Amino acid sequence: MQPDTAATATDLSIELPRLQHVLSGLIPHDLVSFLDIWGGNILALGALILISILMTRACSRFTEVPGRLQNAAEAVVEALENILKDILGSSMHEFLPFLGTLFLFIFIMNLTGLIPMLHAPTSQFEITLSVAIVVFCYVQMVAIRKLGLIGYIDHLMSSPRDLMGWLMAPLMLFLHLVAELVRPISLALRLFGNITGEDALIAAFTGLGVMVLAATGSPVGLPLGLPFILLAILFSLIQAMVFTILSAVYIAQVLPPEGESHAKNPIKS
Amino acid sequence: MNYLSITLPLGVCVTALGSAIGLGLAVASAMKAVSRQPEAAGKIQIMLVVSCAFIEALTIYAVVVVFILQSKM
């Protein structure tokens, strides 16, 4: 790609070029520093607006024979339903709007990073952390609404009913509280690390492709980053799915037991 | 050049080794489970993805540490 990629690849900070730096001669300096700070947020906002417009248009006129947009939207919703059905059981439809929006939001944010010279908003820790905090607050809200405040504290103490249970209750309360507080950080770090690592991988191999041909004076490099860009599409999907499934598991854990379906939670911790 | 230039890659290497073993065990068991009971493939797949995410996360933490400490290298 650009010859400056090779220069940065030999430095230790491996990063693909940013749009505002490439255009820095054409646009005012204030705008460059503004985009350095807020570029990710603007992209995230753009992703939200894109989802809103697409989904509103897909839902505005339902027809018996679905058009292209409605067909795609239905396919996404059905795929999500199939995955979440096993985790959330019968209460799935209550949480599907939130989890589905979360999935689409993260997926589109991840994909934005594949547009040349744009960086995925999810490669900024602030943005993944804020999404994870939203999930954290939502889980607490669902827990208090479903179990009641007393019931939730009882749940956090592993429902002590006998002497042994009450003796263990303070320890269980502490462990559960720590687990609740660590979850958003672990969710955010997982998404941030994956997307950032992916970007660094693409940048490193693109730089390598330029360096290989640098001795011949060729203006372009070998497209060594291409396979990793294809891999990045797959990882974007998987990471968005993992984030959604983990949020669903966290919600499923605070739901009151409803017979058999509660016992199907895949992950207990 | 200080010790970080050796220890950071080494840290990722060791965590990746552990994650690789864990992922291998998890995927091998999932494969066995699917071949034994193909109709449960969907459920096993979801559990596999979630648990792989947990295992992968450990390596990712090491990579995050590398990103944080990279400026001091």
> Tokens in use for B2?
């200080």
A196 assigned to some structural domain: yes
Tell me the whole-structure pTM to 2 decimals: 0.82
Say whether pLDDT at B36 is over 90: yes
Rounded-to-integer distance, Cα A232 and Cα A198, Å: 7
Contact (CB<8Å) B60/A246: no
The answer, for A85 touching chain B at a CB cutoff of 8 Å, is: no
- Which of B45, B55, B67, B69 best tests the A interface by mutation, with the highest count of A CBs <10 A? B67
Q: Residue B50's closest chain A neighbor by CA?
A: A242
Average pLDDT over residues A34-62: 87
- Does B57 touch chain A if contact means CB atoms closer than 8 Å? yes
DSSP code per residue over chain B: --THHHHHHHHHHHHHHHHHHHHHHHHHHHHHHHHH-GGGHHHHHHHHHHHHHHHHHHHHHHHHHHHHHGGG-
- DSSP track, A78-118: HHHHHHHHHHHGGGHHHHHHHHHHHHHHHHHHHHHTTSTT-
Judge whether residue A16 has pLDDT over 90: no
Q: What average pLDDT score do residues A195-200 get?
A: 88
Q: What residue of A is the nearest CA neighbor of B73?
A: A12
Please tell me the predicted confidence (pLDDT) of residue A188.
92
Q: Would the CB atoms of B57 and A189 count as touching at under 8 Å?
A: yes
Average pLDDT score over residue span B20-48:
91
Residue, of B8 and A268, whose pLDDT is higher: B8
Between CA A49 and CA A41 the distance in angstroms is 12
> Is A51 a domain residue?
yes
Tell me phi and psi for residue B37, to 5 degrees.
-140, 80
Q: Give the distance from residue A126's alpha carbon to the nearest chain B alpha carbon, in angstroms.
A: 14
B67·A245 Cβ contact <8 A: no
State the angle between helix axes of A92-112 and A125-156 in degrees (0 to 180), rounded to the nearest 10.
Answer: 160
Per-residue pLDDT band for A2 (boundaries 50, 70, 90) equals very low
Q: Could you give the domains of chain B?
A: 4-72 (1.20.20.10)
Give the mean pLDDT of A46-51: 92
So what's the ipTM on this one? Answer: 0.75
Q: Which chain A residue has the Cα nearest residue B65?
A: A193
Tracing tokens 């969710």 back to the chain, one arrives at: A187
| Segment A119-169, tens digit of pLDDT | 889 988 899 999 999 999 999 999 999 888 888 888 888 887 888 888 888
Of B42, B43, B53, the CB nearest to A242: B53
Is residue A269 one of the residues assigned to a domain? no
Q: Is A34 exposed, middle or buried (0-12, 13-18, 19+ CB in 10 A)?
A: middle
In a domain, A117, yes or no: yes
Q: How many domains does chain A have?
A: 1
Task: Give the tens place of pLDDT for each residue, A74-126.
Answer: 899 999 998 888 888 888 888 999 999 999 999 999 999 888 888 889 988 89
- For residue A66, what are the domain limits? 3-264
d(C-alpha A40, C-alpha A128), whole Å: 11
**Hunting for tokens 């753009």 — which residue is that?**
A46
Q: Is residue A75 part of a domain?
A: yes
Share of chain A above pLDDT 90, in %: 28
At A260, the pLDDT band (50, 70, 90 cuts) reads very low
Residues of A in contact with B46 (CB under 8 A): 83, 86-87, 245, 266
Q: What is the pLDDT of residue A257?
A: 73
CB pairs under 8 A between A and B: 53
The pLDDT, as a whole number, for residue A259 is 53
Which of A192, A242, A250, A264 has the highest number of chain B CBs within 10 A, making it the mutation to test binding with B?
Answer: A242
B6/A contact by beta carbon, under 8 A: no
> Is A238 near chain B, with CB under 8 Å?
yes
